[in-house]
């Protein structure tokens, strides 16, 4: 088996390259750096008809790009977390040492997991549409305060400016939600936003997606709801609605954050794609 490592070309002298060379002695491997936006999509699609193990060395955005060429292929995926959120990785392992992750993965087999398709783009973790999407879409454009996580800075900034949004959600002809909301996310994994466990019952191999919608709130109540989210107690609030779905349609005019990538469509159709990706889960 050949091993393909895809690394973020924006990182000068990437520290993981040395780890690769040290760990992969005796293996057939190749390192490819991305050169421009969405380059990882092109790289992964080059290997769609091969039988390789592809390593996503980056964050959720890099991971989202790479799976575009891996869904329904024989290739295997290994996630090496090197990003801001690394939310999907939290679902598969607690190991944080990247070298140990690589070493462990070499002795493990891949298993089939679900992905989701939103219009014409696959995702593996989360698609969100409300305040959560604004926070994620602007996570790298906010204040720069030493020792404060970027997601927390984006939350503080955008809560002060946020207004509730109208959204309609249908699933198999049934209206699930119609009205103003503050949060809306359709998840294959449990975590988003840099570690918030928004859909604790989600499983990435159960053939379904977990939808969470939070009603519009007075701005003064938002910090308390965030506190409940941190404590994993959102599901007990009457303002919070959970659904398990295989497919759904969303009517809204807002940008969506898709595994860390910002996308916008005039209409959103989402469906689960069962057992469509070969993933190494530590």
| Structural domains of the chain sorted by starting position, each given as residue range(s) with its CATH number in brackets | 2-115 (3.40.50.10330), 121-274 (2.60.200.40)
Helix (H, G, I), strand (E, B) or coil at 261: strand
113-126 average pLDDT score: 97
**C-alpha distances out from residue 200 to 36, 91, 134, 230, 235, Å:** 35, 10, 22, 12, 9
CB atoms near residue 163 (< 10 Å): 9
pLDDT reported for residue 139: 55
244: nearest Cα among 282, 201, 215: 201
pLDDT in tens, 31-70: 999 999 999 999 999 988 888 999 999 999 999 999 999 9
pLDDT at 181 over 70: yes
pLDDT at 254 over 90: no
CB atoms near residue 109 (< 10 Å): 9
Q: Which long-range contacts (CB under 8 A, 24 or more apart) does 145-153 make?
A: 149/194, 150/84, 150/194, 151/84, 151/85, 151/193, 151/194, 151/195, 152/194
172-190 average pLDDT score: 94
pLDDT at 261 over 70: yes
pLDDT at 201 over 80: yes
pLDDT at 93 over 70: yes
> DSSP character for 66?
H
> DSSP character for 196?
B
pLDDT at 271 over 60: yes
* Residue for token pair 């696959």: 122
Residues 6+ apart with CB under 8 A from 13: none
pLDDT reported for residue 147: 41
155: nearest Cα among 212, 252, 227, 231: 227
pLDDT reported for residue 146: 46
Q: Is the pTM of this model over 0.75?
A: yes
pLDDT reported for residue 145: 46
80-94 average pLDDT score: 92
91-100 average pLDDT score: 95
Residues 6+ apart with CB under 8 A from 252: 129, 165, 166, 167, 168, 268
pLDDT reported for residue 133: 64
CB atoms near residue 168 (< 10 Å): 13
């Amino acid at each position: 088996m050949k091993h393909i490592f895809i690394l973020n070309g924006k990182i000068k002298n990437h520290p993981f390259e040395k780890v690769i060379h040290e760990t992969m002695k005796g293996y057939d491997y190749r390192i490819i750096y991305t050169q421009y936006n969405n380059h990882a999509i092109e790289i992964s699609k080059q290997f769609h008809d091969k039988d390789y193990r592809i390593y996503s060395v980056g964050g959720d955005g890099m991971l989202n790009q790479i799976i575009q060429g891996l869904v329904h292929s024989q290739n295997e995926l290994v996630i090496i977390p090197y990003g801001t959120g690394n939310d999907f990785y939290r679902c598969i392992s607690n190991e944080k040492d990247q070298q140990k992750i690589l070493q462990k993965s070499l002795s493990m087999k891949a298993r089939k997991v679900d992905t989701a398709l939103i219009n014409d783009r696959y995702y593996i973790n989360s698609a969100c549409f409300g305040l959560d999407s604004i926070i994620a879409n602007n996570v790298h454009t906010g204040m720069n305060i030493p020792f404060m996580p970027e997601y927390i800075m984006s939350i503080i900034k955008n809560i002060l400016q946020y207004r509730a949004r109208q959204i309609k959600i249908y699933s198999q002809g049934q209206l699930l939600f119609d009205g103003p909301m503050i949060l809306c996310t359709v998840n294959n994994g449990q975590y988003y936003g840099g570690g918030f466990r928004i859909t604790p019952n989600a499983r990435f191999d159960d053939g379904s997606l977990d939808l969470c919608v939070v009603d519009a709130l007075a701005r003064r109540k938002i910090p308390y709801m965030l506190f409940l989210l941190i404590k994993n107690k959102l599901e007990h609030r009457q303002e919070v609605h959970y659904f398990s779905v295989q497919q759904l349609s969303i009517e809204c005019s807002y940008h969506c954050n898709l595994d860390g990538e910002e996308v916008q469509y005039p209409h959103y159709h989402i469906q689960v794609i069962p057992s469509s990706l070969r993933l190494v889960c530590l």
